[in-house]
Structure formats: structure tokens, C-alpha cells
Amino acid sequence: MTDDMDKMGGRALPSTKRSVPIALIRAREKVMGPIREMLSDSGITEQQWRILRVLEEFGPQDASSLAERACLLLPSQTRIVQTLLEKGFVTRQADEKDRRKQTVAITEAGRKIILDKLDEAQAIAARIEDVIGKKRLSELLDILDDFQKL
């Protein structure tokens, strides 16, 4: 037993090599490095990229849905959407049913960003699949989906 374990009454945390939070952060950084590099010449951030991707995939939506799907806190998403609006990559308009809500949609300029980066993004996804394997990647995505239940 180490001195640290003695101080904790014989209890110990998992090794940082096997810690779920630390392992997830390590994996995120390995995945996001190439994405950040891909976006470096585009003038958009990874968070802006996520918003554009979500809007392209799911279509126009309210701010809360967009924030959830893009994995952003609502205040951050609001700020990021404002920047994308100023760049002409999204539009924002009052919801037809509830004027207090606003609907965000991607513009053709926003779609062009995605189209311009499509080959690189597909290559990054293919590299991940090559390294992990198709079956294991599918299992990993299922496991990560299970984390949403925590």
C-alpha cells in the first residue's frame, strides 16, 4: 500500500491510466486534433463546425435543440450562433408558432463550408475506423451512447 492509500484509509482511486474521465479526455484530444487542423484554414472553430453539422443533418431548429445536439451550453451556443450569423453561415428567425422562440437554419455559405471540408472529414472518420476497426467502433459508439443515461 502506498502512503497515499494509507491517507485515504486503504481506499484508492483507479489508476489515471484506467480512469474513465481521463481516458475520455485523452481520446477526445486524439480525435479533435485532426479536426482542429482541418478547420484551421476555414475561419471557423470546432464548436461552429458542430453547429453547422447539426443544422445540415437535422435542418432548422430551435436554440435548445441545437445546443443539445451540438453538445453546447445554451449561452455558448447563443454566442456561437451570433458569430455564425455575422459570417453569413446561418440565419435566425422568430418561430412561426411561438414568436418568443427563434429558429436557426444553415445558409448556402454554411453548407459550402461543410462541402469544402467533406473529403478531409471523411478521411478523418476513415482513419478512426481503420485504427479501431468497424465492429469495435460501432461498439464504442454504443457504449458512449450509454453514458447519456448517467
Q: How many CB atoms lie within 10 A of CB 73?
A: 9
| pTM summary value | 0.84
Q: What is the pLDDT of residue 1?
A: 45
10: helix, strand or coil: coil
Each residue's pLDDT tens digit, 87-138: 999 999 987 777 778 899 999 999 999 999 999 999 999 999 999 999 999 9
Q: For residue 40, report the phi and psi dihedrals to the nearest 5 degrees.
A: -55, -30
Distance set, CA 14 to CA 24, 30, 41 (Å): 14, 22, 40
- Extract the C-alpha cell encoding 108: 448556402
- Mean pLDDT of the residues in the chain: 91
Nearest to 72 by CA among 84, 64, 62: 64
Nearest to 113 by CA among 49, 33, 47: 49
Give 97's DSSP letter: S
Q: What is the pLDDT of residue 69?
A: 96
Helices (H) and strands (E) in the chain, counts: 7, 3
Q: What is the pLDDT of residue 10?
A: 64
